[in-house]
A and B are shown apart, each in its own frame.
Chain A
Amino acid sequence: MKDTKKAADFIISIILIALSAFLYMTADKMPGATKGIGPGDYPKFICTILFILGVIQLISVVVSCKGIPLIAFKEINRKFLLRALIMVVATFAYYKLMKPIGYLLTTPFFLFGSFMLFGYKKKVKGAVIAIIFTVVVYLLFTKVFMIFLPRGILG
Chain B
Amino acid sequence: MFANLIAGFINVLQPFNFLMAVFGTVAGVVIGALPGLSGSTGIILLLPLVYKIDASAALLLLCGLFCGSMYGGSISAILLNTPGTPSATATLLDGYPMTQNGDAGRALGISAVSSFIGGLVSAICLALIAPQLAKVALSFTSPDFFALSIFGLSIMASTGKDTVKGLIAGFIGLLISTVGVDQVAGIDRFTFGNVRLMRGLQLLPVLIGVFALSEVFTIVQKGGEREGAAASQRVGRVIPTKADFSALLVSAIVGGLIGVFIGIIPGTGGAISCFLAYQVAKKISKRGDQFGTGVPEGIAAPEASNNGTTGGALIPMLCLGVPGDTVTSVMLGALTLIGVRPGPQMFVEPEGITIVYAILAGMIIIQFIMLLTGLGCAKVSPSILKIPQTVLLPIIAALCIVGAFSNSNNLFDVLIAICFGILGFGMKKFGYPGAPLVLGIVLGPIAESNLNRALILSENSWSTFVTHPISCVFLILSLVIIVFSVIKNIKDKKESR
A residues with CB within 8 A of B: 5, 8-9, 12, 16, 23, 26-27, 30-31, 33, 35-40, 42-43, 46-47, 49-50, 53-54, 56-57, 60, 64, 77, 79-81, 83-84, 87-88, 91-92, 94-95, 98-99, 103, 107, 110-111, 114-115, 118-121, 126, 129, 133-134, 137, 141, 144-150
Contact = CB atoms under 8 A, between A and B. Distances in A.
Which of the listed residues A39, A60, A81, A129 has the most CB atoms from chain B within 10 Å of its own CB? A39
A141 B220 contact: no
26 contacts: A5-B430, A23-B175, A31-B185, A36-B456, A36-B460, A37-B455, A39-B182, A42-B448, A43-B189, A46-B171, A50-B172, A56-B164, A79-B223, A80-B222, A81-B221, A88-B217, A88-B421, A91-B397, A95-B418, A98-B401, A114-B394, A115-B390, A119-B390, A134-B398, A145-B51, A150-B405
A57 B168 contact: yes
A147 B390 contact: no
B398 A33 contact: no
Contact of A115 (B391, B452, B493): B391
A30 B182 CA distance: 11
A107 B398 contact: yes
A98 B414 CA distance: 10
A51 B60 CA distance: 42
Given A36-B452, A81-B221, A83-B221, A129 B402 contact: no
Interface in B162-190: 164-165, 167-168, 171-172, 174-175, 178, 182, 184-185, 187, 189-190
B220 A39 contact: no
A27 B402 contact: no
> B interface, by DSSP: helix, strand, loop or mixed?
helix
Interface string B178-214: 1000101101011000000000000000000000010
Contact of A37 (B406, B425, B431, B452): B452
Contact of B395 (A16, A54, A91, A133): A133
Closest 9 CB pairs of A and B: A114-B394, A84-B221, A39-B182, A120-B390, A36-B456, A118-B390, A80-B223, A39-B187, A36-B452
Contacts of B187: 30-31, 39-40
Given A84-B217, A114-B394, A144-B52, 5 more contacts: A37-B448, A42-B178, A42-B448, A53-B171, A84-B221
B349 interface: no
B411 A150 contact: yes
> A interface, by DSSP: helix, strand, loop or mixed?
helix
A73 B52 CA distance: 46
B411 A95 contact: yes
B288 interface: no
Contacts of B421: 88, 91
B451 interface: yes
A118 B394 contact: yes
A57 B431 CA distance: 13
B102 interface: no
B422 interface: yes
Contacts of A79: 223
A115 to B, nearest CB: 6
Given A49-B171, A60-B164, A35 B390 contact: no
Contacts of B48: 141, 145, 147
Contacts of B51: 145
A8 B49 CA distance: 38
B202 to A, nearest CB: 15
B411 A126 contact: no
B249 interface: no
B469 interface: no
B220 A84 contact: yes
B478 to A, nearest CB: 12
A94 B401 contact: yes
Contacts of A47: 175
A145 B49 CA distance: 7
Contacts of B448: 37, 42
A9 B216 contact: no
Which of the listed residues A33, A38, A53, A91 has the most CB atoms from chain B within 10 Å of its own CB? A91
B290 interface: no
Contacts of A35: 455-456, 459-460
